Amino acid sequence: MAEVLIFHHSLGLTEGIHTFADELRKEAHTVHVPDLYEGHVFTTIQDGMAYVKEIGFDEMLERGVRAAHELPSDIVYAGFSLGVLPAQKLTQTREGAIGALLFYSCVPASMFGSPWPAELPVQIHGMEADPYFVDEGDLEAARELVTSANQAELFLYPGDQHLFADSSLPSYDADATALLLERVIGFLRQFK
Q: What is the mean pLDDT of residues 171-178?
A: 98
- Provide the 3-class DSSP secondary structure of residue 40: coil
Half-sphere exposure of 158 (CA within 13 A, CB side): 2
The β-bridge partners of 4 are: 31, 76
Q: Is the pLDDT of residue 192 over 90?
A: no
- Are residues 128 and 142 in contact, defined by beta-carbon separation less than 8 angstroms? no
Q: What are phi and psi of 17, to 5 degrees?
A: -70, -40
pLDDT for the residue 107: 96
Q: Is the pLDDT of residue 79 over 90?
A: yes
CA-closest candidate to residue 168, choices 40, 31, 42, 39 = 42
Would the pTM of this model clear 0.95, i.e. be above it? Answer: yes
Q: How far apart are CA 31 and CA 48, in angstroms?
A: 24
Query: pLDDT tens digits for 136-148?
Result: 999 999 999 999 9
Rg (CA), the chain: 15
Confidence label for 114 from pLDDT (cuts 50, 70 and 90): confident
